[in-house]
């Protein structure tokens, strides 16, 4: 059985018009399929602007059920193009109960599984706790025809525990749909530090778990609906695909819409884990305090 897997990530802007955003995503998915990709990852909440810059109850009207209108369309796209798709949807689970949810479509168009974002930020310009209930599906890989996908979402990418639990549950690739950017008021040095920290921590997850990793971010400046509260976010792009030793295999810039494609050899994860047996040497007998909030 071939161990080669062609993966891709769509770095795109996300404007005000949901239909235009979805059509752009679909065009990029079709391009990835034309280049024989097995998997395509879309940015976090790619159907529209990043609405969490402010708190507004009117935004809840944008949420969709799963299955729902967007998932029905993407299901058909996955089937038509024989490709696995990772999309994130503003999920309406019930009145007053919403999630930031990754949906994975298999090559036959079926929904292979979901992941609900577990770590929910609440920072200036990122008021996600107002909109999203923390996930309740756990850190469990999603089984697909191309393997087990360890799908996490944006703020999850700062937590090594999330990546580790995905790896321990059999994930073969770590995947991070993302919406992250700069405050334009920050200095150039601060912007560079933030971007490099974001790249570095994810490369560390790849290294620590011996797994390839896909990080897919959006691009472009999105003004805040309430500019007096927050001027807006310049999403920094820099999507990348890394190997199981954290090596950058391909990456995008800060401003360009880009379709990243790379052919992975999944057998490399086994080879890397054999020479760097981090899972073997974990002192699980001494890790019980990790479940505590803080050790006084």
Report the catalytic residues.
Answer: 44, 117, 154
Instruction: Write down the residue that tokens 């050790």 correspond to.
Output: 295
Sheet holding 233-236, edge to edge: 181-182, 233-236, 219-222
Both structure tokens of 84: 């696995």
The three-class DSSP label of residue 296 is: coil
Neighbours of 271 (CB within 10 A): 13
Question: What is the rounded distance in angstroms from the CA atom of residue 164 to the CA atom of residue 168?
Answer: 6
- Distances in Å between the alpha carbon of 205 and those of 117, 145, 172, 173? 17, 24, 13, 11
CA-nearest of 200, 144, 141, 145 to 174 is 141
Quickly list H helices, the chain.
Answer: 18-34, 69-81, 160-168, 188-209, 267-275
Question: What is the rounded distance in angstroms from the CA atom of residue 89 to the CA atom of residue 92?
Answer: 9
The three-class DSSP label of residue 226 is: coil
Look at the alpha carbons of 216, 221, 227, 230 in this order and tell me if their dihedral is positive or negative: positive
Distance between first and last Cα of the chain? 52
CA of residue 150 relative to chain centroid, distance: 10
């Amino acid at each position: 059985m071939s161990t080669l897997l062609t993966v891709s990530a769509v770095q795109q802007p996300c404007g005000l018009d949901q239909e235009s955003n979805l059509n752009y995503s679909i065009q990029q998915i079709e391009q990835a399929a034309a280049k024989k990709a097995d998997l395509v990852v879309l940015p976090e909440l790619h159907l529209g602007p990043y609405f969490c810059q402010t708190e507004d109850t009117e935004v809840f009207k944008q949420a969709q059920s799963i299955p729902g209108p967007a998932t029905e369309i993407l299901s058909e796209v996955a089937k038509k193009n024989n490709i696995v798709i990772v999309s994130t949807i503003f999920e309406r689970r019930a009145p007053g109960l919403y999630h930031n949810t990754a949906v994975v479509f298999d090559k036959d168009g079926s929904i292979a599984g979901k992941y609900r974002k577990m770590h929910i930020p609440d920072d200036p310009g990122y008021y996600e706790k107002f909109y999203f209930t923390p996930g309740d599906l756990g850190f469990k890989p999603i089984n697909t025809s191309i393997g087990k996908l360890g799908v996490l979402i944006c703020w999850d990418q700062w937590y090594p525990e999330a990546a580790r639990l995905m790896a321990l549950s059999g994930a073969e690739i770590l995947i991070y749909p993302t919406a992250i950017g700069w405050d334009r008021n920050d200095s150039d040095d601060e912007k560079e530090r933030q971007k490099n920290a974001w790249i570095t921590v994810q490369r560390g997850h790849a290294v620590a778990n011996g797994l390839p990793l896909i990080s897919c971010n959006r691009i472009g400046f999105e003004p805040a609906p309430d500019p007096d509260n927050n001027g807006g976010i310049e999403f920094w792009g820099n999507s990348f695909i890394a190997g199981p030793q954290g090596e950058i295999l391909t990456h995008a810039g800060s401003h360009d819409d880009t379709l990243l494609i790379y052919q992975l050899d999944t057998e490399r994860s086994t080879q890397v884990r054999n020479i760097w047996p981090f899972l073997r040497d974990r002192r699980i007998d001494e890790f019980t305090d990790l479940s505590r909030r803080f050790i006084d």
